[in-house]
Amino acid sequence: RIEAGSYDSGYAVQDIDGLIIEGVDPKNPPRFEGGKEAWHFSRCDRLQLRHLFVRGQQANGINIDDGGDRAHPTTKVLLSHIVVQDIGPKGNFDAIKCSGIDELVIENCQIKGWGGQAIDFVGCHRSIIRSCKIEGKEGYSCTSGIQLKGGCSEILVEECTLIDAGPRPLNLGGSTGLDYFRPAGALYEAKQLTVRKNRISGGECAAAFVGVDGCVFTENTIQQPSKWIFRVLQETVEPGFAPCRQVVIE
């Protein structure tokens, strides 16, 4: 448990099971500012992060992964009431980056200003993004608010607010190098996605369906995209990859 105050960044944690890191005072969370990354967790099952403030990193804000062991995903991770701001500002740098995580929940988080994706999932499964506010910021090269790619499956995105969150506020699927897919050999960027009861304001489009094999987009509110309402794309064209298909908008 961490008291309120200003702290350095650059913490790396590996192979710790059941770790909980939380701010003592939810109304005045500890602030981790500057540096390359605030926190990087590898192979930390049952990790919980609560009531933390992260700002001003040059690379990613919070990075959680499986340590590159694609056959053994990290499991049961929770991020709750995390604030991430001013990441990058230019380049493919994410506020919250997650690779190879199963049963991941990100809820009640606020993100403003990032270079790449606000929340980037690569090969994550059976996971939820819920009740988050994601807002772009002038001077930051954000490309999307939430991106689900690299073999993601069974992901629910619900009751989030995305405001000016880049050209693709919701990038449902994507374009991933073959060496990064989880599971290895997956023939879809994403499948079995549910996106419901969100509000998407601004951006070039509300949602891009990119190499996704099954997605239900339902009960969402779309406000003033600048160019398209939806995009349907196939950016990974390796042999055997499923075409973008089985998308329901209702």
The reported pLDDT for the residue numbered 152 is: 98
Q: Average pLDDT of 197-213?
A: 98
Query: Which residues does residue 194 pair with via DSSP β-bridges, in sequence order?
Result: 156, 216
The reported pLDDT for the residue numbered 69 is: 95
The reported pLDDT for the residue numbered 168 is: 98
The reported pLDDT for the residue numbered 195 is: 99
Whether the model clears a pTM of 0.85, i.e. scores above it, the answer is yes
Dump pLDDT digits (tens) for 101-122. 999 999 999 999 999 999 999 9
Q: Residue 214: pLDDT band by 50, 70, 90 thresholds?
A: very high
Determine the Cα–Cα distance for residues 69 and 46; give it in Å rounded to an integer. Answer: 17
Q: Dig out the tokens for 24 from the structure.
A: 């003592």
Q: Average pLDDT of 40-57?
A: 98
H, E, C per residue of 117-169: EEEEEECCEEEEEECCEEECCCCCCCCEEEEEECCEEEEEEECCEEECCCCEE
Peptide bond into 167 cis (omega under 30): no
Residues 189/173, Cβ–Cβ less than 8 Å:
yes
Peptide bond into 89 cis (omega under 30): yes
Residue 195 neighbours by CB under 8 Å, 6+ apart: 156, 157, 158, 170, 172, 207, 215, 216, 217, 218, 220
Q: Average pLDDT of 32-48?
A: 98
Determine the Cα–Cα distance for residues 139 and 32; give it in Å rounded to an integer. Answer: 21
The reported pLDDT for the residue numbered 113 is: 98
Q: Residue 98: pLDDT band by 50, 70, 90 thresholds?
A: very high
Dump pLDDT digits (tens) for 126-162. 999 999 999 999 999 999 999 999 999 999 999 999 9
Dump pLDDT digits (tens) for 166-185. 999 999 999 999 999 999 99
